[in-house]
Structure 1
Amino acid sequence: MPLVRNPLPRARWLRAAVLVAASTGLVAAALPAPPPLGIGDPLFPHLGNPGYDVLAYDLDLTYPGVNTKPLAAVTRIDALATADLERLNLDFTHGTVSAVTVDDIPAAYTGSGEDLVVTPAVPIDAGEQIEITVTHTSDPTGPADTGGWVRTGDGLAMANQADAAHRVFPSNDHPADKAYFTFRITAPSALTAVANGLPAGRVDHGATTTWTYRTRHPMATELAQVSIGSSTVVHRAGPRGLPVRDVVRTADRELMEPWLRKTPGQLEWMERQVGPYPFETYGVLVADADTGFELETQTLSLFERGLFTEPGYPEWYVDSIMVHELAHQWFGDSVSPRTWSDLWLNEGHASWYEALYAEEKAGKSMERRMKAAYAASDGWRADGGPPAAPEPPSPGHKISLFRPVVYDGSALVLYALRQEIGTEAFGRLERRWVADHRDSTATTADFTALAGEIAGRDLTAFFRDWLYAAKTPPMPGHPDWRSRPAEAVRTAVKPG
C-alpha cells in the first residue's frame, strides 16, 4: 500500500535550512566510531537497532549483468522514531556507502562493526516520521555460507536467513521489525527479475528493463527475495484464484513442470490444516545453485535445482520438503518470531506439517518418525540446547543455529502437545495461532498461553519440561519411549 508521509515539521525544517550549508562538511568529517547497537536478542546481540520502527523499504537495485560485480543500489527507509535520536544505526555490511540523507538533508555516517551509524543534520524527535536514503553498492561476492546474495548459474537470488539481509541492503535486520517492501530491479533486458509480492510495473529502456514488485503484507528482512536470471515465470491459479507464480530457468521449464503443478494441491492441503493462505501470491523459485538448503522467502520459496533433479530423492520426500517451505508461509513468515530463540515455532511447525503430509500422502508414519526423534532428543538437547532456549550459533557460522533440535526436536514438542490436549484442541490451537498473530510477531510465551487457554488448564509445567529442560520428558501416551545417550546420537544420521 502507498505510504503517506507527514511533511518535515516546520521547526525541524527551519533548523535544517540553517545547517544544510554545513552538512557536506559534516558528512566528510572524521567521527569517532560509536559502538554497534542491537535490540538485545540473546542469540544475535548486535542485530536490529533501537529507537525507530521501520514502516517501509524501497530498494532500487541495478544489476550489471555479471554476478561477480557489485550492484548499484539506493535503499529508502520510511521509519517512525520511537525515541529522541541524535543518531541512528542501520545494519549494513559488504557494500560501499557513498551518500546518506535523512529527510533529503545530507547526513554524516560511519561504520561500526556491521552497523552503519547515521548522524542527521537535525536531531530526530520521538514520534517523528523520517525518511532515510542510503546510496550504496551491494556486493554478491564473498563466502557462500555467510548468506545474502546467492550466485546462481545464470544470475542471483537471495538467502538472508538468519542475519544476512544487511549483507545486501541497509536495514533494521531483525524479524521483530517487519515492514512493507517495494523492489525496483534494473537488469539487462535479456534477463528476468522477480521479487516478493506482486508485479507493480515494468519499464523497458532498450538494453535494460526495470521491474517493480510490492508486498501487500509486512515482511521480515530475512525473508526478502530477489531473483535475476535467464528465467521463465510460470503462472497458474491456486485456491480461490490465488495467483501462483513459479520462477525457473527457461531451459528447465518442461523439466520442472511435474513438480511445479503440485503447488495448488499443496496449498489446498495446508489450508485444510490451518486456514486461508496469508499472502497475496505464492510460488517456487528454483535456483541453479548448490545451497545445501531450501528457504521460505515470503511468497516465493527458494529451492536448489538439485532437490528436483537428484534421482536418489524419492518423490514423497521432495513433496514433503515443498510442504515444509509452504508451511513456513504461515509459521515464520506471516507469524514471525519475536526473538531468534523463538525459532522452534517456525521450524517445529514446518517439520510437523512436512511429516503430516508425508503420512497422509505417502503412508510415512508420523508416530514412527516421532519415536525416532524422541530417541535422539536428549542428544540434540545436549548438542544445541533445548528447543526454546537454543545455544548461540558458532561464531562465523551463523547457519549453525539451524540444528536438529529446532526441526524434528521441536516437532516432537508439538506431537507431545497433541498427545496431551487431544487432536481437536490441537487443531483449534493451530488455527487460532496463525489467525491471531497474522502479519505480526509472536513469542513462545504467546504460544504457551494460547495453548493453555484452548486446553482450559494450566500447561506451565508441561511446556517448562518440553521446551526448556536439558532432558526430554516422558512422552504422553507412550511411556515405553526411550531416548538414547547423547554420545550415540552424535554418531547417528540426522533425520531429514
Structure 2
Amino acid sequence: MLLTPRTVRPPRPLPQARPAGRSPRRAAALLASAVSVCLLAASAPAPPLGVGDRLFPYLGNPGYDVASYDLSLTYPGTNDKPLKAVTTIDAWTTTGLDRLNLDFAHGKVDSVEVDGRRATFSRAGDDLVVTPERALPRGSWTRITVRHTSDPRPAKGHDGGWVRTTDGLAMANQADAAHLVFPCNDHPSDKAMFTIRVTAPNRYTAVANGLPTGVDKVGSSTTWTYRTQHPMATELAQVSIGRSTVLHRTGPHGLPVRDVVPTADRKALEPWLAKTPDQIAWMEKKVGPYPFETYGLLMAQATTGFELETQTLSLFEKNVFTEPAYPKWYVESIMVHELSHQWFGDSVSPRTWSDLWLNEGHATWYEALYAEEKAHRPMADRMKAAYRASDSWRESGGPPAAPKPPSAGQKIGIFRPNVYDGAALVLYALRQEIGRPAFERLERTWARTHRDGTVTTADFERLASSTAGRDLSGFFKAWLYGAKTPPMPGHGEWKAAPPAKAAAR
C-alpha cells in the first residue's frame, strides 16, 4: 500500500516526499488484537497468545486453520449505523480444542454456533472466545457461525476496517484491522477462500473480491454475491457499497477487468482506467501470468491517506486521479505499485509481518521500473537518493527485514520508508550482485513457485542463492538486518548520509 501525497506540489523522487502510497500504514498502527487465548485441553499448559508474530504478538489464533469464510452483510442505507452480519467459518483443527478464539473487536455478537449447536462466548481483549458444547478433536472439520453487527463508525483505540465514503463504505483492513469488520483469524499466515454477500437498498451497488456469482433483487433491496477463486488473507478483503458504476473491459488473455467508480465521475476517470490492461501486460512480461481471476480499481470518495492492494480490487482515493498537481507518470506508477502487489503480497503473502519488505520492496521496485521504462525516470537516480537516506531509515524504522514494532497511535505503523524504498534498494543491490538475467529469473521463479502461498524472508534468500549458484547468506544478512547500509555493488562512490543529516533533507 502507498501513502497518498498530501501536497499540491509535484512529489519529490524520494519516498519520504513521494506521497503515494506506501502500502500501508493505516491499519498497521492499530492496536494489536489482544489476548488471543486459544485454550487447548483443561489439563494442558497455557498456550501462547496469538500466533506469536514479532510485530503483532496478539494477532491470529493457534489451534485451527481456516479453509473458508462466508460473509453476509446487510447495509441499512446509511454509513453511520451498524450492518447486520453473519460470518460462517469452516476450519480444520490442528490441536484438540475446548475453546477457540476469533479476532473480533468492533461489533455486537448476538449468537455463536459450532457445528450447528449453540455455543457460549465471551470477550477477552480484541478476541471473541467461543466455548462449543462439545470439545473439538484434533484433525477435524468444524463450522463456526457468528451472528453479529459490523460497525462502520470509528473504533476507539483503533484505526482501519470500514472506510466511510461520501456515498457508502469500503474496506481498508491492512495490517491488523479485518477483525474490526468481521470475526476471523486475522493474520496473513492463514489464507482462506471467501464468499461475500452484500444486501443493500436498490439505489446502491455492491462489489467485493473475486467474481460475481449472483445478483438477486427482492422488493426494495438487492443482494450481490462474490466468490474468490484463490485463497486470500483477511487484510486483503474488500467490499464496496455506494452509488457506483461498474465498468468492464478485457485484459490480457481474456482477463475480466472491472472498475468501480462514482457514477458522476465515470467519464473523467475512464482515461486512467483504460491504462490497466497494458499495465497488466507489462507486469506479466516481468514476472509471469497475472495470478488471479479478475482485477480492477475501486475509486473511493474518501480521504484515507493511502492506496491499498486489496485482492483483485485495489483501493484508491479518487482525488489521486483528479488532482492536477500530480504528474501523469507519477499517478501511473502508483497504479503499477498496487497492481504489482497482486503478485507480491496478495498471491505470494508474508508468513509474518516482519516479511513485509517482500511486499513493499517489490511493489516499489516495479513502480520505479515502470517509471524508468515508460517515463524515463532513471532507476539508478532514485536508488542513489534512497542509498543516501538509508541509514536514517534503518535507525528510525529498523532494517528492512527487522522493522521496529508499531507504536500505539501512529497511523503508518510498520509502513515506513525502510520497507518501501529501503527494501527496493536491497533488490537493486541484489541485481547488481547477481546480474540482471539471474535477478529477472529469480523474480519469475518466486512468483510462480509460491503462488497462492505464504513465504518468509528465508525462503527468498534460499531461492536467490539457488538461482545465483552461490551462497548469498552474507549478502542478505548485511542488507536485510544490518544497522548500517552496506556498500552498493558496482557503486562504491555512493555514500549514505549520517542519520541526522539525512533526516534534515
Q: Establish whether TM, by shorter chain, passes 0.5.
A: yes
Residue 70 of structure 1 pairs with residue 82 of structure 2? yes
Query: Normalized against structure 2, the TM-score is what?
Result: 0.90
Structure-1 separation of matches of 2:463 and 2:327: 38
Residue 86 of structure 1 pairs with residue 83 of structure 2? no
Is this contact kept in 2: 1:36–1:46, CA < 8 A?
no
Is this contact kept in 2: 1:37–1:89, CA < 8 A?
no
Task: Tell me the residue number matched to 1:142.
Answer: 154
Q: Give the secondary-structure state (helix, strand or coil) at the position aligned to 1:266.
A: helix
TM-superposed deviation, 1:230? 0.3
1:36-435 paired onto structure 2 within 5 Å: 37-142=49-154, 146-397=159-410, 399-435=412-448
Structure-1 separation of matches of 2:501 and 2:335: 31
TM-superposed deviation, 1:488? 1.9
Task: Tell me the alpha carbon deviations over residues 453-480 of structure 1, each in whole angstroms, 9 at most, x when there is no partner.
Answer: 0000000100000000000000000000
Structure-1 separation of matches of 2:191 and 2:358: 17
Is this contact kept in 1: 2:106–2:155, CA < 8 A?
no
TM-superposed deviation, 1:395? 1.4
TM-superposed deviation, 1:267? 0.2
Task: Tell me the alpha carbon deviations over residues 216-241 of structure 1, each in whole angstroms, 9 at most, x when there is no partner.
Answer: 00000000000000000000000010
TM-superposed deviation, 1:400? 1.8
Counterparts in 2 of 1:423 and 1:297: CA distance versus 1, 3 Å? same
2:376 partner letter: G
TM-superposed deviation, 1:388? 0.2
What stretches of structure 2 of length at least 5 have no aligned partner? 1-45
Task: Tell me the alpha carbon deviations over residues 192-234 of structure 1, each in whole angstroms, 9 at most, x when there is no partner.
Answer: 0000000010110121000000000000000000000000000
Q: Give the secondary-structure state (helix, strand or coil) at the position aligned to 2:71.
A: strand
TM-superposed deviation, 1:491? 2.6
Structure-1 separation of matches of 2:63 and 2:87: 19
Structure-2 separation of matches of 1:489 and 1:479: 19
Taking only the aligned residue pairs, the percentage that are identical comes to 70
Structure-2 separation of matches of 1:328 and 1:81: 31
TM-superposed deviation, 1:35? 9.6
What stretches of structure 1 of length at least 5 have no aligned partner? 1-33
Structure-1 separation of matches of 2:147 and 2:488: 55
Is this contact kept in 2: 1:35–1:112, CA < 8 A?
no
Task: Tell me the alpha carbon deviations over residues 239-290 of structure 1, each in whole angstroms, 9 at most, x when there is no partner.
Answer: 0100000000000110100100000000000000000000000000000001
Q: Give the secondary-structure state (helix, strand or coil) at the position aligned to 2:257.
A: strand
Residue 436 of structure 1 pairs with residue 449 of structure 2? yes
Counterparts in 2 of 1:143 and 1:289: CA distance versus 1, 3 Å? farther
Q: Give the secondary-structure state (helix, strand or coil) at the position aligned to 2:366.
A: helix
Structure-1 separation of matches of 2:388 and 2:413: 22
Structure-2 separation of matches of 1:36 and 1:133: 25
Counterparts in 2 of 1:383 and 1:475: CA distance versus 1, 3 Å? same
Task: Tell me the residue number matched to 2:485.
Answer: 472
Is this contact kept in 2: 1:99–1:136, CA < 8 A?
yes
Structure-1 separation of matches of 2:453 and 2:103: 21
TM-superposed deviation, 1:490? 2.1
TM-superposed deviation, 1:399? 3.1
Task: Tell me the alpha carbon deviations over residues 82-133 of structure 1, each in whole angstroms, 9 at most, x when there is no partner.
Answer: 0000000000011000100000100010000100000100000001100000
Structure-2 separation of matches of 1:490 and 1:120: 54
Is this contact kept in 2: 1:162–1:398, CA < 8 A?
no
Which of 470, 485, 502 matches 1:457? Answer: 470
Aligned residues: 459
Counterparts in 2 of 1:92 and 1:484: CA distance versus 1, 3 Å? same
Q: Give the secondary-structure state (helix, strand or coil) at the position aligned to 1:146.
A: coil
1:106 partner letter: R
Structure-2 separation of matches of 1:79 and 1:412: 40
Whose relative contact order is higher, 1 or 2, with alpha carbons under 8 Å and at least 6 apart? 2
Q: Give the secondary-structure state (helix, strand or coil) at the position aligned to 1:48.
A: coil
Is this contact kept in 2: 1:52–1:82, CA < 8 A?
yes
1:44 partner letter: F
> Between Structure 1 and Structure 2, which shows a larger proportion of helix residues?
1
2:434 partner letter: I
1:54 partner letter: V
Is this contact kept in 2: 1:194–1:228, CA < 8 A?
yes
Task: Tell me the alpha carbon deviations over residues 34-68 of structure 1, each in whole angstroms, 9 at most, x when there is no partner.
Answer: 99930000000000000000000000000000000
Structure-1 separation of matches of 2:48 and 2:490: 50
Greater Rg, structure 1 or structure 2?
Answer: 1
Task: Tell me the alpha carbon deviations over residues 63-87 of structure 1, each in whole angstroms, 9 at most, x when there is no partner.
Answer: 0000000000000000000000000
Task: Tell me the alpha carbon deviations over residues 291-332 of structure 1, each in whole angstroms, 9 at most, x when there is no partner.
Answer: 110000000000001100111100000000000000000000
TM-superposed deviation, 1:489? 2.3
Structure-2 separation of matches of 1:143 and 1:85: 30
Structure-1 separation of matches of 2:374 and 2:503: 31
Q: Give the secondary-structure state (helix, strand or coil) at the position aligned to 2:306.
A: coil
1:84 partner letter: G
TM-superposed deviation, 1:397? 3.1
